Amino acid sequence: MSEDKNKREDQEKKHANELDEETLFVVSQTFKALSDPTRIRILHLLCEQEMSVNQIADTLELRQSTVSHQLRFLKNLRLVKYRRAGTTLFYSHDDEHVIDLLQQTINHALHH
């Protein structure tokens, strides 16, 4: 009887450590966001300061439509946020955990 109880407890622990579907989806989408060089460049830039779409486009030498498209993708994942000043939107990063992951990955790449 004690052996059955131990088996049940082991199974419960195993299930508690499994990731649910929503968590798996969010994690995979976050890595998808970080797998694109343009999105990496935008997030890296927004680590330093808040910027408008035009400022980002000018700094990274990208078309405004490209930047807007990528910012929409990042905003939907809650990786960036914006504030409105008149008619201009200023973007900044919105998830310190992801920024830390990005910085660590950049540092890893620089050490190789």
Question: Where is pLDDT greater, at 4 or 46?
Answer: 46
Q: What is the CATH number of the domain that holds 88?
A: 1.10.10.10
C-alpha pair distances (Å), 35 with each of 43, 83, 112: 12, 26, 19
pLDDT in tens, 40-66: 999 999 999 999 999 999 999 999 999
C-alpha pair distances (Å), 96 with each of 12, 52, 78: 32, 20, 11
pTM of the predicted model, to two decimals?
A: 0.79
Asked if residue 104 belongs to a domain, the reply is yes
Number of domains in the chain: 1
Asked if residue 81 belongs to a domain, the reply is yes
Asked if residue 90 belongs to a domain, the reply is yes
Q: State the amino acid at position 80 in one-letter form.
A: V
What SS3 state is found at 20? coil
What pLDDT was estimated at residue 44? 95
pLDDT in tens, 6-17: 766 666 665 567
Asked if residue 100 belongs to a domain, the reply is yes
CA distance 78 to 85: 20
Contact of 79 with 70, CB cutoff 8 Å: no
| Tokens at 71, concatenated | 């910012």
| Tokens at 100, concatenated | 């830390």
Q: Mean per-residue pLDDT for 62-90?
A: 96
% of the chain with per-residue pLDDT over 90: 81
Q: How is the chain split among helix, strand and coil, in percent rounded to 5?
A: 70, 10, 20
**Is 90 exceeded by the pLDDT of residue 24?**
yes
Which residues of the chain form beta strands (DSSP E)? 51-52, 80-85, 88-93
What pLDDT was estimated at residue 72? 96
What pLDDT was estimated at residue 2? 66
Asked if residue 7 belongs to a domain, the reply is no
What pLDDT was estimated at residue 16? 61
Asked if residue 67 belongs to a domain, the reply is yes
Q: Name the residue range of residue 50's domain.
A: 23-111
What pLDDT was estimated at residue 55? 98
